[in-house]
Amino acid sequence: MAVQALPLFGTLVLRLSVGLTDDGKPIYRTRRWSGIKPTAANGDVYAVAEAFAGLQEHIMTAVEYQRNSELADDGE
């Protein structure tokens, strides 16, 4: 049985450093934007992440681009 992945949408996730704990460990928060076309180029998604990071109060430490797909049997 062959399975096909049908792209649905993507989610951009920014991880932001918002401070330190009393022990000196970093505290992170995430911001998510969903509904991104799954065909968007990685470079374009990263450019948008940088633009969004410039609007944030805290420093961006990581960018994730999560693609969601539906799995379906292709009938073979």
In this predicted model, what pLDDT tens digit does every residue of 9-58 receive, in sequence order? 999 999 999 999 999 999 999 999 999 998 999 999 999 999 999 999 99
28 lies in some domain: yes
75 lies in some domain: no
45 lies in some domain: yes
Express each pLDDT in 8-17 by its tens digit.
999 999 999 9
Residue 54 main-chain phi, psi, to 5 deg? -65, -20
Instruction: Specify the number of domains making up the chain.
Output: 1
Q: What is the pLDDT of residue 13?
A: 98
21 lies in some domain: yes
76 lies in some domain: no
The residue type at 26? P
Tell me how far apart the terminal alpha carbons of the chain are, to the nearest angstrom: 6
Is residue 17 within 8 A of residue 28, CB to CB? The reply is yes
24 lies in some domain: yes
For residue 7, what are the domain limits? 3-70
17 lies in some domain: yes
